[in-house]
Amino acid sequence: MKILKSISSLKAWRKKQSSLKKSVGLVPTMGALHAGHIELVKKAQKNCATVVVSIFVNPTQFNKVEDLKNYPKTLKEDLALLKAANVDAVFLPTEKMLYPDDFNYKVSEENLSQFLCGEHRPGHFTGVLTVVLKLLNLTQSTQAFFGEKDFQQLKLIQGMAKALFLESKIVPVATVREKNGLALSSRNKRLSAEALEKAQIIPELLRNKKNSPAAIQKILLEAGFKVDYVEDHWKRRFVAAHVEGVRLIDNMRI
């Protein structure tokens, strides 16, 4: 597994793949990897001849400094997990590498980013779209893989790729869940065992199609969650709720 710690080493690696006429799959991550990320890797390996995973905790998508500070960082474990999954290369950029312009140039969207997480996390999607565009440009990936747990993010990245005529195909991958139904997330690592058990009510409520968004919100509030939203879009039901100060999101097809 190649560890690429500079843009020049990434470009050299990518040039070699081109010379071998190999398709390249990109799996962008912020580390703190779990089975959901490995599912993205498996899909990439199925679709492409070679796979590169990026690990970068992107500061521009955090609207709260505290959230960025508390984001779990487990690089040693992440690399071991990726090596076991037979990943071809890992790109480990720094903030200085990806933002030589100090984030003066950015990608924004004026429609789909204005509700759900966009409404509750101002600037979040501008940071996401900007860093994803940079990673797509740097890796020149044939395909890039994103989970449906972050469905609004997926829709925005697909829209950006289409609007900006990007060559990379954006491929969705179904949400991976715990046995109790809770969507896998790096943020789950910050929850106590009690909170993890409590959080399983979210997928249970989403699975029950008889529940209206208002009813789900009422139940979550009564259970002690702080609720950002329960809304329907794209024939899916979306939830964002906080427990122990950790923000959890999920969605399911209606």
CA distances from 56 to 53, 138, 163, 229, 243 (A): 10, 14, 25, 28, 25
- 34, 37, 120, 233: which is the annotated catalytic residue? 37
Pairing of strands 24-29, 50-55: parallel
CB 90 within 8 A of CB 82: yes
DSSP letter, residue 183: B
Residue 37 annotated among the catalytic residues of the structure: yes
Cα–Cα distance for residue pair 100/80, rounded to 1 Å = 30
Cα–Cα distance for residue pair 56/93, rounded to 1 Å = 6
Cα–Cα distance for residue pair 86/100, rounded to 1 Å = 32
202-211's contacts with Cβ under 8 Å and 24+ in sequence apart are 202/239, 202/241, 202/248, 202/250, 203/177, 203/250, 203/252, 205/239, 206/237, 206/239, 206/250, 206/251, 206/252, 207/181, 207/252, 209/254
CB 167 within 8 A of CB 160: no
Cα–Cα distance for residue pair 4/10, rounded to 1 Å = 6
* Residues with catalytic function: 37
